Each structure stands twice: as C-alpha cells, then as structure tokens.
Amino acid sequence: MKKLWIILFPLLLLAEPPSVEQLFNIQTVKVKKETTGFKKKFYGLLKADEKNIVNIVPRFSGYIVKLYINRTYSYVKKGEPLAKVYSPEIFKAKEEYINALEFSKKHNDRGMVESAKRKLQLLGISDNEINQYAKNRKIDPYTTIFAPKSGYIFKKEVVEGSSFNAKSPIFQIINLENLWIEAKISEPDIPLILRARRFYFTTKAVSGIFEANHPFLYPVIDPKNALATLRLNVKNIDKKLFPGMFATLYAKSEPKTMLTLPRTAVIRKMNRWYVFKAGEFEGEYEPVDVVIKPIDNKRYAIISGLKEGDEVVNNVLFLIDSDAQINGLF
C-alpha cells in the first residue's frame, strides 16, 4: 500500500522552519482501551397491559336484578359475583334443557340433551351451573354473572334495574399485576435501545426504582414527529403503580472493554473505513483499513486493523483525504 507524504516548502522568512504539524495543524491520537457503556434517559407513560383487560359482554339481552358490585374501580376476585340478571332467552333455554333431560329419561335420546346443553354453553352459562340443573331438575329464573379475572372494575355500564343488550359490554375488568410502560424514541436512539441490556424507571408518585423487561419496539415510526414507541413489561404485584402515571425510563448497556478512537480519526471511502497511521518518519502517514463499530456520537470501537498504542491522524482528515484522493491511494 502506498504511503502519504506531506512535503513542505521552506519558509525563508522564518528564522526556524516550522514542523509538519505546525504548518498543517496535524494532530495525532493513540488507540486506547476503554471500558465503556451507555445510559440513556427517556420519558414514558404507564398503561394497562392489553392481555389483562377483560370486557364482560353478555351473549343475551336482559335486565339487572341485583348488582353485587355497584362502584367503579372496586376490586373483585376471580369467580366473585358481579350481577344477578333475568333474561327471557336464558330462561327459555334452561327450560328446554330440563325438558330434554326428562324426555331422554323416557326415550333415551341423548342427542336432544347434548343439543340443549350446548345451547346453554354458547350463551355463556357455566358447566357448573348446568350440572346443578341436571342434578336437581330445577332451574333458577335468574342468572349470575361472575368475574372471569381478578382486577379493578374500570367500566360499569349498568345500574340496578337497567336493561342491557346482547353484544354490549356491561363491565370492564383490568388486572394491574402487570403493566406496560411506553416511551417515545427518536430515530437516532433506536440502535442504542437495541443494544441496551437493562431498563428501569422512576416515578414522582411512588419512591423507588422499578425494573422493566421484555422490550418491544413497535414496527412503525410516527411520520408527524419521527418518533418510535418502545414498550416494556412491568411487574406490579403490590399494585403501587397505576395506568396514567408518568415515568422517567433509563436504558443501560453492559460495560465492555474495547479499543476506541474518536470519530474524527476515521474516514470512509468506497464502503470501507480507513485511518492514517503515523509512519516511521515525520510527515509519513499510511492508510490502514479498519473494521469499526459505533459506540456513541463521539467514538468508534476498533474491531480489527489496529492495536492498543497505535498512533493515527486526528481532526484534519479532510486534508489527508484530499491528498489521498489526488495520489490515488484508494
């Protein structure tokens, strides 16, 4: 590979001729080992985890006879009764099931029984309740709606005595033992986020540091503000955190020891990266092909091509680059 020489003409007006570095302001820097990592701060919002949101939507119409839970944001446990309802459709289906049982007892027709039972199941009646009807041969005109999941009643669309329609939600339960935190990420920060190994956050409302995990970067960028959305899972067993809280999120990488150079010491030509390594004589610089990896907006990690202590040109790469192109070094 050719070497680059910077040749200076003598300056007769000066008593002492300046050095190469003085004339061309050439500065050098040494390759050094650094233990490095990053820590980045973002702002996020706590939200309910979608898989822990349950809408209770009856498959039949009817009337609210009694509300067991009559306040929004009440906490309920799985299996706890929410409301006692009357539905003419359900009452008729129960009667059909009892009649099918009696008919089958005389004519041994299990097909009719299974059909009537299946109808009740499709309307949302539990197997436990159906088995009680089969055992007692007696039906209850009312039907109880139970909580399918533990959590808080975030929505209550009925009051005692009101009617409801099939396909219309009457309760919404949200379990807060797991939450999401969502943060907006600028495009330049996306590579950092993909390399981060730890995420944690703080809130003004609750003291302490909370871990977040399972990062997921939404595969879309908002064209209005050029921001991506990062989502993480948050354990909230003690229920101290609530949806709607603002949080300060930190992304942190694992510290690594690597060879580094400032970005100003590396140039790119023809899809390859080069540095100019100081030669044996003053003013002699040899282009060296290197493999690099960005660390941050100021430094590169040197993967191959140099070793610790090697001295390369820094800051005036435009000068070296121009001369290199003229002399066809690349």
- pLDDT (tens digit, 9 = 90+) per residue, 217-264? 999 999 999 999 999 999 999 899 999 999 999 999 888 888 999 998
Residue 265 has pLDDT above 60, yes or no: yes
d(CA 175, CA 43): 24
Dihedral (Cα; 203, 204, 206, 207), 10-degree rounding: 90
Own/partner long-range contacts of 50-55 (Cβ < 8 Å, ≥24 apart): 50/180, 52/149, 52/151, 52/174, 52/175, 52/176, 52/177, 52/178, 53/172, 53/173, 53/174, 54/148, 54/149, 54/151, 54/172, 54/173, 54/174, 54/175, 55/169, 55/171, 55/172
Phi, psi of 157 (to 5 degrees): -95, 5
> Which DSSP symbol is given to 226?
T
Cite the DSSP H helix spans in the chain: 20-24, 88-107, 110-122, 127-136, 190-195, 317-326
Tokens representing 91?
Answer: 């009452």
Q: What is the pTM of this model?
A: 0.68
Residue 329 has pLDDT above 80, yes or no: no
Q: Give me the amino acid identity at 67.
A: L
> Which DSSP symbol is given to 208?
S
**Cβ(40)–Cβ(191) below 8 Å:** no
Average model confidence (pLDDT) across the chain: 86
